[in-house]
Chains A and B, each alone.
Chain A
Amino acid sequence: MGIPEVKKTVCEICLNNCGVDAWVEDGRVVKVEGSRECPNRGKLCVKGYASREYIYREDRIKTPLRRVGARGEGRFQPITWEEAYTEIAKHLNQYKKEFGADSVAFYTGYSKWYRTLFHRFVHSFGTLNYGTESSSCFQAVRLADVLNAGSLSRPDIANTDLFLAWGFNPFYSGVYHFDTIEKLQEKGMKVICIDPRVTPFSQLADLHLQIKAGTDGALALFFGNYLIAQDKIDHDYIKKHVHGFEEYREYVQGFTLQRVAKITGEKEEKLVQAAQMLGENPHFAIHEGAAPLTHHRNGVQNFRALMALSAISGNYDREGGNIPTEYANPKVNRDCDVGDETFIQEVRPKNTKPKIGSERFPVWSEIIDEFQAMDLSRQILEGTPYPIKAIFALGMNVRMFPGDTKLFEALRSVEFFVDVDIFMNDTAKYADIVLPACTSFERSQFMGGFMGHYYNTPSVRYLSPVIQPLYESKSDADILCELSRYLDMEDSVLSKGHEACTKYLLRKVGVTFSELKVTSAAARIPGKLPYIPGANTEFGYRTPTGRFELTSEILRRHGFSPLPTYEESADEQDENLYPLQLTAGGRLPYEFHSRFQNSRWKKYFRPYPMVDLNPKDARDLSIRQEEDVVLESAYGSICLKANLTYMVDQGAVFMYQDYKDADVNSIIGENHLDPISGFPGYRSVRCRITKVKAKEGAK
């Protein structure tokens, strides 16, 4: 072993952006470690340590490709970048000319780092049809937050007395957060974990409520009822800043201990214990997980019910509570903002058609500046209200969509489809042109905006590549900038390239690009201080009433219940036929979306698709560990193996998504959606499990 050079980059397998020390020798990464100076403090997770396998995997797309076989078949012919760009530009501009810019849908799956650029790119092309995987991740949380108080918010864990770890398990999705929590626990902070599974984190919490998936809203309303009855509420804050308190107070009275114990399946004494802890700790912060709470048909309302607790207790926009990040008044200190929003909106097109999904999901369309991708397949296949001729996508994963066979069908019928990806996957096999993207190790990257929150001080960071891009791959940002030239979009910023875009963004930040480029360290934005809680409240929230809306006037206008009402999230199928509740997509530490499906390293942990089942339920069904079973819903069935574990409660089954040979989303109805957000109800689907008899096993 020679002496490798240690170079700094970030791991972008998930969104945590953990700093990586890459050991590089002869242009190859030979080992990875966590960066000590980054928020991950020298640690990486099971996925991050697998970076090397991720970078050098055999299924990397090596050159631009043109499809020569049928859609989905996977037969391609290598072409040059020049040919690819020319062909894409010719087609997209032709559709734009003949059918208008709105006939092209632009979509991105993971990652997120280039999204500001991509959103501007879409606007410059002339349409609002910009969609992302946030149609089923993160944006429903924001939607619920915006309906309540006009802003996304985040828990101020560092200053709180009680942390409501609602659907929170850092060991599976962001290990380094636990370090902070453990230290705070030692100083006296209490933790209530609310999770339908027993997890390593739930075992370390002071109290674990193991409620049935999707019943979070009922639990929150019970807490609301308790806090009001015990007079543990902030009268002053409610009087000045809350709208609809009386209606809320009346509504929560229906959520009695007995009723909620029955709905959630948790013991009465544990619910009381949790409520008492809330009453005793006036400063509490609520974890706002992106997916677990909103992947239910009642997801947005459940989430609103959670955040209502922050309002009635006066914890909203207060130290140790939940802190808003978007402000109504421009005078409020936007601490981590580097002008991304202006960058996107200054080229916003006028006279466009309504975004995809506007008719079906009007609340989403009004609030979220993206199309609701759950309506994409319908619009392509039905051609209403207007036809979609082409899709330009980055990292699209069809298996993410419920009832995904319909989207595959739509991709077969769309006239032109471009997909950019690191790996050759089933979605890319449908594309007419496939472009090879590179990993975070192979590109330069500007980190600003909300990234600053990871460093606790407003900061920006610029990273140079640690190795050259493999094969002919390019960074997503470079692909977009180069393509903008071929499209003649007349966007003078994008067409100059990624570096020019970074300089353009930095011009108002107060750090120059040349200063930033010389170091891989995060640079503090000069003169910027962290946001001081309470500032946003002073000016009023960005809601119709300017207050925290326990009764949302936007929802009322659209004919939805304005209160954070609770309804059951599971589908209407017969409980006797489908006695178990399937939760699809619950995290496993060694999986991230579809990214590790072909990873050999992951296969050590879970070599084949498995459904997690309680051993008691398994005994009733005479199913043993790793036996072949059929998982069946009203929409279809898949064959896979059983994994018996007490981590899941009786009556519940958990399964990870995106497996090619056991695709759980193919057995979830395409219309099993939250009507407010359009979010799929992945986590509450009625199902049953049967053992495969020997001769059927071959199927």
Chain B
Amino acid sequence: MIKEQVRSVRFNFHPELCVGCGACVTACMDTHDTDLDCQEPLRRMFRREQIRQGQIRLTWYTAACLHCENAPCATVCKKGCFVRDAETNTMQLDNSDCVGCGQCEKVCSFLAIVFTKEKKAVKCDGCFELLQRGLLPACVKACPRFAVTIDDRPAVLEQSRRQLAKAFAVKSLKK
């Protein structure tokens, strides 16, 4: 029996490779027709500056949904806005019932949730339409350093989650 291939996607981010060039951010805006008058981009960029032994170290992060396995956003949402897409394994957000309670934003460690001017939650859809055609998500394709990847090996996923959660817990991140 031939099994249909599932286009399952899990996102990673590798801060040690990111150079803060911003290509993934505009590629995301281009693909999603983001209206900046209404909301922030679905992938956002942050910078962290540290001094270790007199040496300056700059690290960049871009934040968007990682489409987690046991996604807490889906658990806390009382309106059931978050639905797992069976084919792509991405977490999809239908905000028509969203009341803007902000619970999903609170539980997300990866700064994935953005609110529109109308207080509706939005987030990365994994470039759903591109995935359905078997094409790479825009940010993954755009990154010149392969800092944004799709890779579902548990070790890679775990490392990415750990690094990002730690970085985003820090308040001193700059744009």
In the complex, how many angstroms separate the beta carbon of B100 from the nearest chain A beta carbon? 22
> B170: which A residues are within 8 A, CB to CB?
none
**B84 CB within 8 Å of chain A:** no
| Residues of chain B from 13 to 28 with CB closer than 8 A to chain A in the complex | 19-23, 25-27
B60 near A46: Cβ-Cβ < 8 Å: no
Assign chain B's interface to a size class.
20 to 34
State which of A42, A46, A53 has its C-beta within 8 Å of the C-beta of B141.
A42
**B152 CB within 8 Å of chain A:** no
A45 near B29: Cβ-Cβ < 8 Å: no
**B175 CB within 8 Å of chain A:** yes
Which of the segments A59-67, A144-152, A505-513, A601-609 contacts the partner chain? A601-609
> A201: which B residues are within 8 A, CB to CB?
19
**B171 CB within 8 Å of chain A:** no
A172 near B21: Cβ-Cβ < 8 Å: yes
In the complex, how many angstroms separate the beta carbon of B110 from the nearest chain A beta carbon? 19
B36 near A603: Cβ-Cβ < 8 Å: yes
**A43 CB within 8 Å of chain B:** yes
> B150: which A residues are within 8 A, CB to CB?
none
A46-B26, A49-B26, A601-B29 in contact; A200/B40 too (CB < 8 A)? no
B19 near A44: Cβ-Cβ < 8 Å: no
* Complex Cα–Cα for A567 and B122 (A): 56
In the complex, how many angstroms separate the beta carbon of B83 from the nearest chain A beta carbon? 21
A-B contacts counted at CB < 8 A amount to: 89
In the complex, how many angstroms separate the beta carbon of A49 from the nearest chain B beta carbon? 4
A33-B141, A200-B60 in contact; A45/B23 too (CB < 8 A)? yes
> A198: which B residues are within 8 A, CB to CB?
56, 58
B23 near A43: Cβ-Cβ < 8 Å: yes
B37 near A601: Cβ-Cβ < 8 Å: no
B51 near A605: Cβ-Cβ < 8 Å: no
**B45 CB within 8 Å of chain A:** yes
B141 near A176: Cβ-Cβ < 8 Å: no
Nearest residue (CB) in B for A51 is B30
> A603: which B residues are within 8 A, CB to CB?
36
In the complex, how many angstroms separate the beta carbon of B15 from the nearest chain A beta carbon? 12
B30 near A31: Cβ-Cβ < 8 Å: yes
> B21: which A residues are within 8 A, CB to CB?
45-46, 171-172, 175, 200, 589
State which of B30, B31, B45 has its C-beta within 8 Å of the C-beta of A605.
B45
**B129 CB within 8 Å of chain A:** yes
> A46: which B residues are within 8 A, CB to CB?
21-23, 25-26
State which of A50, A600, A645 has its C-beta within 8 Å of the C-beta of B37.
A600
**B174 CB within 8 Å of chain A:** yes
**B41 CB within 8 Å of chain A:** yes
In the complex, how many angstroms separate the beta carbon of B170 from the nearest chain A beta carbon? 15
In the complex, how many angstroms separate the beta carbon of B113 from the nearest chain A beta carbon? 17
State which of B22, B36, B141 has its C-beta within 8 Å of the C-beta of A589.
B22
B22 near A203: Cβ-Cβ < 8 Å: no
Nearest residue (CB) in A for B129 is A1
**A106 CB within 8 Å of chain B:** no
**B80 CB within 8 Å of chain A:** no
In the complex, how many angstroms separate the beta carbon of A441 from the nearest chain B beta carbon? 13
**A371 CB within 8 Å of chain B:** no
B49 near A175: Cβ-Cβ < 8 Å: no
**A276 CB within 8 Å of chain B:** no
A42-B141, A50-B30, A646-B58 in contact; A175/B45 too (CB < 8 A)? no
**A32 CB within 8 Å of chain B:** yes
Contact with B along A581-614 (1 / 0, CB 8 A): 0000000011000000000110111000000000
A178 near B144: Cβ-Cβ < 8 Å: yes
Contact with A along B94-134 (1 / 0, CB 8 A): 00000000000000000000000000000000000100000
* Complex Cα–Cα for A172 and B20 (A): 9
* Complex Cα–Cα for A603 and B25 (A): 12
A32-B30, A600-B36, A625-B174 in contact; A175/B23 too (CB < 8 A)? yes
Nearest residue (CB) in B for A172 is B21
B26 near A601: Cβ-Cβ < 8 Å: yes
In the complex, how many angstroms separate the beta carbon of B162 from the nearest chain A beta carbon? 22
**A647 CB within 8 Å of chain B:** yes
| Residues of chain A from 25 to 58 with CB closer than 8 A to chain B in the complex | 31-33, 42-53
| Residues of chain B from 78 to 102 with CB closer than 8 A to chain A in the complex | none
**B157 CB within 8 Å of chain A:** no
**A179 CB within 8 Å of chain B:** yes
* Complex Cα–Cα for A203 and B145 (A): 14
In the complex, how many angstroms separate the beta carbon of B78 from the nearest chain A beta carbon? 31
A175 near B174: Cβ-Cβ < 8 Å: no
In the complex, how many angstroms separate the beta carbon of B172 from the nearest chain A beta carbon? 10
**B142 CB within 8 Å of chain A:** yes
> B129: which A residues are within 8 A, CB to CB?
1
A-B contact pairs, 23 of them (CB 8 A): A1-B129, A43-B23, A44-B142, A45-B22, A45-B23, A46-B23, A46-B26, A48-B23, A49-B30, A50-B29, A171-B144, A175-B144, A176-B144, A179-B144, A198-B58, A201-B19, A203-B58, A604-B25, A604-B40, A604-B41, A605-B22, A625-B174, A647-B56
Q: What 4 new A-B contacts, CB under 8 Å, besides A46-B23, A590-B22, A647-B58?
A: A46-B25, A171-B20, A175-B144, A600-B37
Sort A-B residue pairs by CB-CB distance and give the 10 closest, nearest first.
A200-B19, A46-B22, A49-B26, A49-B27, A646-B56, A171-B19, A175-B144, A171-B21, A50-B26, A646-B49
Residues of A within 8 A of B (CB): 1, 31-33, 42-53, 171-172, 175-176, 178-179, 198, 200-201, 203, 589-590, 600-601, 603-605, 625, 645-647
